[in-house]
Amino acid sequence: MQDRLLNMLPEGGWRKTGDTRLAPLTDGEMNWFQRRLTRYLVQRHQVPAHNLFATFLHAPRIFLAWLPFASQLMPYGSLTRRQTELVILRVAWRSRCRYEWVQHVQIGRAAGLSDEDILRVTDTPGGMGWTSLEAALLQAVDDVVDTGIVGSATWTSLASALSKRKLTEAVMLIGHYCMLASVIDSLGVEVE
């Protein structure tokens, strides 16, 4: 099943430019701090994201500002790790971002998602097996991808289950990963 999940295709296939538009910095192009930072991030978090980090380092100030923000959403956010990974996987699937999908299939498994959970992320949000909150989070992703805003019915469902802090974070998580998918695919970041 693992290979099946990593090799699935969303409707329309994975979105891609056809080539790498901005290659990751090589070790020789990075300064000492950048080399140590990318190695630390990959080793510390056990996430093979060298291509992502080394590509984002073309804009080092933005990269260094982005890291703490991104980490406050994942993995240190107030939503459960399960909820966070379901949201990110749904964004990856709906945005047709293969890099995000492959990374978060692996991260989702490490966070406790089953292969069946991950497979169901590719189906409609109201499908069988989700809690009402999980279904609302997945629907919120679809709302934002389709219209740019969480719909009223979805908001009501989320607001009945989440604090104001978690509501805000959920919407920021969705928006952040939609943005990240666009950046990854626009730059042509290759899957690790």
Domain spans of the chain? Answer: 2-8+78-187, 32-73
The residues, any chain, with a CB within 8 Å of residue 62's CB and separated by 6 or more, are 56
CA distance 34 to 26: 10
pLDDT, tens only, 74-91? 999 999 999 999 999 999
**Count of all residues that appear for the chain in the document:** 192
pLDDT, tens only, 30-79? 999 999 999 998 887 666 899 999 999 999 999 999 999 999 999 999 99
- Assigned token pair, 148: 């740019």
* CATH level 2 (architecture), domain 2-8+78-187: Up-down Bundle (1.20)
Q: Is the pTM of this model over 0.75?
A: yes
pLDDT, tens only, 126-158? 878 899 999 999 999 999 999 999 999 999 999
Whether the CB-CB separation of 47 and 107 falls below 8 Å is answered with: yes
